[in-house]
């Protein structure tokens, strides 16, 4: 039986990626400088409408240097979305700073602006706020930006899952002081592994580029006045990214089509809830997610296991950060005491196969298996 994936690499039919990779070989630009890097960074800038970009080895390294660029260091407090992947939080720890987790709202699944306000009452002086756009759903940016502006705290957007999504016609990744993108193999486009930091602040991005290439002072010998990192993207992998940018909008369209197909197919099943897009939102629908009503006899694991038996990959919703053994000692701010929206979504949610290589028959296979459970 053909395996169906949650989200896997999907190269262009035209093989643009191979052509650009071959160019790197043909011209011997096989390091962390070259035309592919320049052109890949440029295409992301043009797509998002942003001034500066630097290709890095992963989304995690982009998060790390983004935080450093915002001046986060030892003992600083950083607010971060609770319902996310651990790579949103690990870089805070790399810098010996302290995360404070902010709960989600049901509308967006992302950071609840009201919980954020509550966090500011308890901790008036965080160094930065990390806003994650989970599964490509857009956070409530008007509210979140307003609150952060009032408190004069910069935002680092974790747009690893949100490339191609828009809030009020403006791309995610263009709201924060800087924003991290990921091109890991499971993301909407991939370089097999890679990331990028983008910002309208050109000095900030130059600084990140400097750190990412070992912080070499301008001198004839290797001289260092700051700690360096080996985080730059390879020109070979940038060739893959350059080709992938040419099909990004196709991937968004397909992801959205997958979501719409699920929505239609499960419309008559009472126990399945699917959150619609907000009027201000264009989600890239990186992963299609559903939740099951509290009293549903069918549980997330029933769906995941039934699909698994048929060689189909599905997954639970990301386990919130405040529930992670490594992070449970940090504070967690919820709107109502003792009630965590993120935990509830985790308990009731399922990420359905959202691979853009799926055919209509593949989608039908998934839908039939799920429907049979109800
Ligand atoms: C994938 C991901 C990252 C990390 O990106 P990598 O390129 O895998 O390092 C960070 N945050 C979120 C929300 C992600 O999904």
Residues near 331 by beta carbon (within 8 Å), at least 6 away in sequence: 100, 101, 122
Is 11 within the bounds of a domain?
A: no
Residue 97's CB is within 10 A of a number of other CB atoms, namely: 19
pLDDT score, position 203: 98
> Do both 142 and 258 map to the same domain?
no
The residue among 210, 245, 280 that closes a domain is 245
> Do both 25 and 132 map to the same domain?
yes
Lowest model confidence (mean pLDDT) among 207-216, 331-340, 360-369: 331-340
Residue nearest to atom 2 of ligand 1 (CA): 160
> Are the CB atoms for 188 and 164 separated by under 8 Å?
yes
pLDDT at 337 exceeding the cut of 90: no
Average pLDDT, the chain: 98
DSSP state of 155: E
Q: Tell me the pLDDT tens digit for each residue of 279-324.
A: 999 999 999 999 999 999 999 999 999 999 999 999 999 999 999 9
Rounded to whole angstroms, how far apart are CA atoms 105 and 89? 19
Domain total for the chain? 2
The residue among 214, 245, 276 that closes a domain is 245
pLDDT at 119 exceeding the cut of 90: yes
> Do both 220 and 186 map to the same domain?
yes
Local structure of 130: helix, strand or coil: strand
> Do both 220 and 257 map to the same domain?
no
> Do both 73 and 191 map to the same domain?
yes
pLDDT at 94 exceeding the cut of 90: yes
Burial class (CB in 10 A: 0-12, 13-18, 19+), 71: exposed
Structural domain harbouring 339: 248-373
pLDDT at 60 exceeding the cut of 90: yes
Residues near 280 by beta carbon (within 8 Å), at least 6 away in sequence: 138, 167, 168
CATH number at residue 310: 3.90.1150.10
CA of 62 to the centre of ligand 1 (A): 9
Q: 158 CB under 6 A from ligand 1?
A: yes
Q: 188 CB under 6 A from ligand 1?
A: no
Rounded to whole angstroms, how far apart are CA atoms 234 and 201? 23
Confidence of residue 1 (pLDDT cuts 50, 70, 90): confident
Mutate to test the pocket of ligand 1, among 65, 67, 160, 189 (most ligand atoms within 8 A of CB): 160
pLDDT score, position 339: 83
pLDDT score, position 238: 98
CATH number at residue 26: 3.40.640.10
Structure-block tokens of residue 85: 């992947």
CA of 186 to the centre of ligand 1 (A): 9
What ligand 1 atom has the least distance to the C-alpha of 187?
Answer: 1
> Do both 270 and 144 map to the same domain?
no
Residue 33's CB is within 10 A of a number of other CB atoms, namely: 14
Residue 143's CB is within 10 A of a number of other CB atoms, namely: 16
Is 159 within the bounds of a domain?
A: yes
> Do both 108 and 237 map to the same domain?
yes
Residue nearest to atom 14 of ligand 1 (CA): 160
> Do both 58 and 173 map to the same domain?
yes
What ligand 1 atom has the least distance to the C-alpha of 183?
Answer: 7
Model pTM? 0.98
The two beta strands, 178-182 and 155-158, are parallel
> Do both 142 and 53 map to the same domain?
yes
Q: Tell me the pLDDT tens digit for each residue of 134-164.
A: 999 999 999 999 999 999 999 999 999 999 9
Q: Tell me the pLDDT tens digit for each residue of 230-285.
A: 999 999 999 999 999 999 999 999 999 999 999 999 999 999 999 899 999 999 99
Chain centroid offset of residue 174 CA? 14
pLDDT at 100 exceeding the cut of 90: yes
> Do both 111 and 138 map to the same domain?
yes
Question: What percent of the chain has a predicted confidence (pLDDT) above 70?
Answer: 100
Rounded to whole angstroms, how far apart are CA atoms 151 and 125? 8
Residue 28's CB is within 10 A of a number of other CB atoms, namely: 8
Of 141, 85, 79, 84, nearest in space to 115 by CA:
79
């Amino acid at each position: 039986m053909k395996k169906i994936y949650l989200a896997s690499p999907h190269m262009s039919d035209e093989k643009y990626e191979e052509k650009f990779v071959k160019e790197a070989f043909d011209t011997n630009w096989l390091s962390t400088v070259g035309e592919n890097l320049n052109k890949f960074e440029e295409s992301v800038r043009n797509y998002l409408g942003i001034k500066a970009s630097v290709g890095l080895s992963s989304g995690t390294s982009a998060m790390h240097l983004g935080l450093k660029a915002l001046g986060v260091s030892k003992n600083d407090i950083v607010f971060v979305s609770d319902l996310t992947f651990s790579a949103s939080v690990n870089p805070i720890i790399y810098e010996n700073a302290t995360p404070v987790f902010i709960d989600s709202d049901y509308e967006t699944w992302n950071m609840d602006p009201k919980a954020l306000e509550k966090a500011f009452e308890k901790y008036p002086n965080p160094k930065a706020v990390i806003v994650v756009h989970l599964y490509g759903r857009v956070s409530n940016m008007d509210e979140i930006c307003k609150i952060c502006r009032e408190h004069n705290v910069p935002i680092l957007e974790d747009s690893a899952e949100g490339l191609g999504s828009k809030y009020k016609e403006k791309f995610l990744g263009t709201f924060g002081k800087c924003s991290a993108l990921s091109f890991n193999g499971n993301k909407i486009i991939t370089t097999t592994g890679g990331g990028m930091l983008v910002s309208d602040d050109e000095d900030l991005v130059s600084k990140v580029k400097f750190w990412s290439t070992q912080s070499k002072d301008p001198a004839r010998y290797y001289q260092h006045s700051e700690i360096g990192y080996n985080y730059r993207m390879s020109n070979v992998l940038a060739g893959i990214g350059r080709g992938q940018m040419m099909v990004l909008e196709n991937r968004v369209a397909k992801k959205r089509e997958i979501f719409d197909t699920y929505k239609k197919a499960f419309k008559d099943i009472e126990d399945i809830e699917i959150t619609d897009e907000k009027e201000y939102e264009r989600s890239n629908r990186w992963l299609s997610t559903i939740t099951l009503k509290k009293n549903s006899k069918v549980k997330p694991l029933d769906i995941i296991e039934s699909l698994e038996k048929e060689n189909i990959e599905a997954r639970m919703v990301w386990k919130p950060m405040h529930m992670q053994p490594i992070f449970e000692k940090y504070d967690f701010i919820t709107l109502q005491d003792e009630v965590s929206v993120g935990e509830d979504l985790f308990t009731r949610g399922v990420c359905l196969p959202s691979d853009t290589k799926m055919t209509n028959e593949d989608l039908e296979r998934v839908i039939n298996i799920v429907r049979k459970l109800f």
